[in-house]
Amino acid sequence: MKHPDTAARGQDPSCGLECRPRYPCPVRDPFVMRLTQLPLTTLKETPADAEIISHQLMLRAGLVRRLSSGLFTWMPLGLRVLRRVERIVREEMNRAGALEILMPAVQPAELWQETGRWDLYGDLLLRIRDRHERDYCFAPTAEEVATEIARRELRSYRQLPVNYYQINTKFRDEIRPRFGVMRAREFVMKDAYSFHLDQASLDATYDTMADAYARIFTRLGLRFRKVDADGGEIGGSRSQEFHVLADSGEDRIAWCEGDSYAANVEMAPTAPADLPRPPATQSLARIATPGVRSIDEVAAFLQVSATQCLKTLVVEGTDGGLIALLLRGDHALNPIKAERAPGVARPLKLASPERILTVTGAPVGSLGPVTLKLPQVADHSALHLADFVCGANVADAHLTGINWERDLPLPTAFDLRNVENGDPSPGGGGALTIARGIEVGHIFQLGDKYSRSMHAVVLDQDGKERVMTMGCYGIGVSRIVGAAIEQNHDANGIVWPEPLSPFDVILIEINPKKSEAATAAANTLYNELQNAGYEVLFDDRDARPGVKFADADLVGIPHRIVVGERGVKEGKAEYRHRQSGTEEQVGLTDVLDFLRARREVPRQG
């Protein structure tokens, strides 16, 4: 039997069907918005396996439940947040001229074999076999399918450019899922794929997408940065990431206010020092350093700063030999840069301690460039050292007072290290700031990597086949929910930005069984708010006030209206703003006007 979904807001709840009193008719409201009808399970205690705050709060507030490693069920409140993110993403993608489609989440191996990714993708790809023993995968991304669609549908340059997108579940069999929905194995992603006749068209769409992304994250109420990024395996010339700023982020990004330079730390270049190297003041000496291995130990033992030490890392070379990489003691090797250094094998691989001992005769903790019989590449800042300290290539001994050119020749100079807070910006506008970010968006220019291998062509003006050039553009929809919480919470729980909150307003009635006048006032207000277009969560539970307040704070709905016997006698309700904590008494009949003044436009529908 079908429920007539006709009960208008604010009207008699009767839907014309017989509902037994114990089971109130569920179609009374446009959504189930009464807490007596929505089994919300909040947790006072933090579940043991939740590491970061967003994961803890999502579990405590009943937004998601873990089913298995990296797999989550989105519960009613959480799903509403996810839908709000999707909605904004969808609106802005449509506005930017992209076309929504929905591709299969399960994809045939043949397509992935065409581009070679069936073999290249490795264990991250979840492979499935059907009853006919045919191979499939659960899509971690959809370049192949999008390209397949384009090569079948698009015949003429006149149809270009086209930008297809979808919002769909993806699966990546992550080695280690963690941080709740932030690095889940199954997740919701918006992915878009654009097709062009030439680079100029690709550039235009790429820029349009960059603008759309900025609009999306701005509308979501998030603090974010767009940064230059490494294209990674996906290839292509231009690539930028959008990061939500949060201390728990897995990425580090660097930017400069002075010149608007911004890049992932893995990308930001360092330059040779402007100033000449300081003059040598010490003479070379050899010191016994029994048991001293790490830079920290060396610095402590010799009473020098780590910045006076030279770090020697040994990696495998392209010719099968070893190469020494030299860094200042306090600097960190940047693997992506190191892979570009002359003679270094890709992917970067540190040499094993055993092999280093065999080849150099010295243990890992006692290496240094002086007398080292290996090709050497030095970071710019390592070459700026004077009177520095390093291993003596003999166990338990270090050299001090070393100076370039006097004690050893200058090796090849290269940019090998990560930038650090305060390093000069490549843009020349001052010092870099470094912060942690959560990658929530990534845009790429793919070029013809996929379209060429899959022969995705159109005819140009001259009737000649031209391989289309492609861009792709991703947004981690479910990850955004976690990232937003990382950025917006306090000691009492989540503090949703208005556009993301599962509800616009939470209405709390104090002691529902005590005062008929208060109950009537609360129900009237509830209906009025709904009629005005607000999505209202009505806490009509027969629970103690403290419990309701605590739940309201935990769930984080931005605007709270409390109706109780005390206030109703004076014709008042109480308003509280979740973020600022400010409270005000508001006349029961003034609530709508009051909220209107405090909120952005009530959402449509």
Partner RNA sequence: CGGGGUGUAGCUCAGCUUGGUAGAGCGCUUGCUUCGGGAGCAAGAGGUCGCAGGUUCGAAUCCUGUCACCCCGACCA
What residues line the site for RNA (CB under 7 A)?
42-49, 51, 60, 66, 68-70, 124, 140-141, 170, 172, 174-179, 189, 191, 231-234, 250, 335, 347-348, 442, 444, 472, 474, 476, 492, 510-511, 513-514, 544-547, 549-554, 562-567, 574, 576
| Distance of closest approach, residue 139 Cβ to RNA, in angstroms | 9
Q: How far is CA 482 from the centre of its chain?
A: 9
Element (H, E) at 336: helix 335-340
Closest to RNA by CB, 54 or 308: 54
Pairwise CA distance, residues 532 & 474, whole Å: 35
| Distance of closest approach, residue 530 Cβ to RNA, in angstroms | 22
Closest to RNA by CB, 365 or 564: 564
- Sorted by sequence, the CB contacts under 8 Å of residue 508 that are 6+ apart come out as 539, 545, 548, 549, 552, 560, 561, 562, 563
Pairwise CA distance, residues 235 & 165, whole Å: 20
Contact 339, 352 (CB under 8 A): no
Closest to RNA by CB, 266 or 423: 266
Residue type, 273: A
Closest to RNA by CB, 408 or 477: 477
Closest to RNA by CB, 236 or 317: 236
- Integer CA distances (angstroms), 157 to 384, 450, 466, in order: 55, 18, 9
| Distance of closest approach, residue 517 Cβ to RNA, in angstroms | 12
String of b and e for 136-173 (b: at least 16 CB within 10 Å)?
A: bbbbbbbbbbbbbbbbeebeebeebbbbbbbbbebbbb
Closest to RNA by CB, 321 or 581: 581
Among residues 113, 197, 114, 190, which one has the least CA distance to residue 154? Answer: 197
Closest to RNA by CB, 439 or 504: 439
Pairwise CA distance, residues 495 & 501, whole Å: 8
Give the per-residue SS3 of 265-305. CCCCCCCCCCCCCCCCCCCCEEEECCCCCCHHHHHHHHCCC
| Distance of closest approach, residue 231 Cβ to RNA, in angstroms | 7
| Distance of closest approach, residue 484 Cβ to RNA, in angstroms | 18
Closest to RNA by CB, 47 or 278: 47
Structure tokens at 420: 């650090």
φ, ψ dihedrals at 534, nearest 5°:
-85, 145
| Distance of closest approach, residue 230 Cβ to RNA, in angstroms | 8
Contact 285, 276 (CB under 8 A): no
Contact 463, 184 (CB under 8 A): no
Closest to RNA by CB, 368 or 437: 437
| Distance of closest approach, residue 44 Cβ to RNA, in angstroms | 4
| Distance of closest approach, residue 490 Cβ to RNA, in angstroms | 10
| Distance of closest approach, residue 560 Cβ to RNA, in angstroms | 7
Cβ atoms < 10 Å from Cβ of 547? 13
| Distance of closest approach, residue 428 Cβ to RNA, in angstroms | 30
Contact 573, 591 (CB under 8 A): yes
- Sorted by sequence, the CB contacts under 8 Å of residue 121 that are 6+ apart come out as 112, 140
Closest to RNA by CB, 97 or 335: 335
